[in-house]
Amino acid sequence: MFKINEHYGQLNESYLFSTISKKIAAYAAAHPDAKIIRMGIGDVTLPLSPAIIKALHESVDEMGAKATFRGYGPEQGYEFLRNKIAETDFRNRGINIDADEIFVSDGSKSDTGNIGDILGENNTVAITDPVYPVYLDTNIMRIGQSEKIHFLASNASNNFLPEIPNQKIDVIYLCYPNNPTGTVMTKAQLEKWVEYARKNDSLILFDAAYEAFITENDVPHSIFEIEGAETCAIEFRSFSKNAGFTGLRCSYTVVPKALKATNNKGEKIALHALWNRRQSTKFNGTPYIVQRGAEAVYSPEGQQETKALVAYYMENAKTIRKGLLEKGWTIYGGANAPYIWVQCPAEASDSWGFFDRLLDECHVVGTPGVGFGKNGEGYFRFSSFNSHENTKEAIERIKNWKI
């Protein structure tokens, strides 16, 4: 009999969002009049903006005309999009990234999950706890539960920003602005990680999916704002949250040409060539129509409209922060990220106890922090992806809550 990849049996069952859905469904069935407000979800709620819709329609028409129909596109993405990305997201910000170093993809989930394909199995890997679960699960799928996987604790004692490891780690996943905690690193803090990586010949996998939500000045939008990062980092960016592409699917990954690793013979190998080989073998490109939609994000109208989407969600983040601070709760994040990370009040037994009481007594849903790792126990994530009306009402209910 053929065998399975045994590592799959070592994965923690991912009960989090299915348990949440089941609990909400059961509660709604038993309390049909309850107006439940969902602040747990990490998915956008506003529709695609007009500039993007226009570009999508136009490219659909192109695909239906003999002269402009397109089949397979370049695996790395069309130049029209890569040029816009390089210019707008990097060069205009003084960062020297070339269009050739950008790989367009169908999502940062795929890319952060697949990047391990080009890395050696014996690398030590560091993952923050709590964490966006994809980094951990895809490492377990690849190398199994292993002592090579190290956890960097993010907790109240370090303001949910992990300490730099005091041992040599080969591959480090960092996500800032952070999901789930909403915390960010200042430029000076990120510089220390880059310094560590360069000193230890480590690779930083930097997930900047929430970069557009940064409002403060000394928070880097890209790891490549830090000198020398092009020799030690890969960056993942997504159109999901800044432009509402969660259902459309488009992202990109920056693999600088200066980034090298060694093979067993001690030769220096460019990761750019490896990722190119991996993508052109296993991926046939993001749809042309979608890439035209993403290109429209960079048009003057697209920039204005997508900034307005982000501002809309950040207004909710402000409402949540203000309301919960007034209630006297301890909170993190929400100033440069769409997530607010809340310490569960002492009356709640734990993250799930808090979830149950919040649902039952306020008809509000969030995400229990323990679902993102053991350091998330006792914490709770509120998302600002919702309407202003719902957010205000949810916060009013919480403020009036006798807890």
- Report the alpha-carbon distance of residue 187 to residue 23 in Å, rounded: 41
d(CA 354, CA 91): 46
* Of 290 and 362, CB closest to ligand PLP: 290
Q: According to the binding rule CB under 6 A, does residue 175 interact with ligand PLP?
A: yes
Q: Using CB under 6 A, pick the residue from 209, 358, 362, 364 that binds ligand PLP.
A: 209
Site string for ligand PLP, 227-256 (x = CB under 6 A): -----------x-x-----x----x-----
Assign 307 to helix, strand or coil: helix
> Minimum CB separation from ligand PLP for residue 64, in Å?
28
CA dist 303 and 336 (Å) reads 18
Q: Which segments within 352-403 are labelled E, that is strand?
A: 364-365, 367-368, 379-383
Position among 179, 291, 375, 391 found at the interface with ligand PLP (CB under 6 A)? 179
Provide the 3-class DSSP secondary structure of residue 294. helix
With contacts defined by CB under 6 A, name the span among 67-75, 108-116, 162-170, 288-296 that binds ligand PLP: 108-116
Backbone angles phi, psi at 105, to 5 degrees: -145, -175
Shortest distance, position 373 Cβ to ligand PLP, whole Å: 13
Q: Which residue lies nearer to ligand PLP by CB, 240 or 367?
A: 240
Q: Which one, 45 or 238, has the nearer CB to ligand PLP?
A: 238
Q: Decide: is 38 part of the binding site for ligand PLP (CB under 6 A).
A: no
- Nearest distance in Å: CB 107, ligand PLP: 3
- For ligand PLP, which residue has the nearest CB? 107
Q: Which residues contact 143 (CB under 8 A, 6 or more apart)?
A: 7, 121, 149
Which residue in 109, 272, 292, 321 binds ligand PLP (CB under 6 A)? 109
**d(C-alpha 1, C-alpha 381), whole Å:** 44
SS3 of 89-157: HHHHHCCCCCHHHEEEECCHHHHHHHHHHHCCCCCCEEEEECCCCHHHHHHHHHHCCCCCEEEEECCHH
- Using CB under 6 A, which of the segments 30-38, 102-110, 321-329, 367-375 binds ligand PLP? 102-110
Closer residue to ligand PLP (CB): 323 or 382: 382
3-class DSSP string for 342-360: EECCCCCCCHHHHHHHHHH
Q: Of 176 and 298, which CB lies nearer to ligand PLP in the complex structure?
A: 176
Give the shortest CB-251-to-ligand PLP separation in angstroms: 4
Closest CB to ligand PLP among residues 202, 242 = 242
284: DSSP letter: -
Chain residues in the site for ligand PLP (CB under 6 A): 42, 107-109, 112, 132, 175, 179, 207, 209, 238, 240, 246, 251
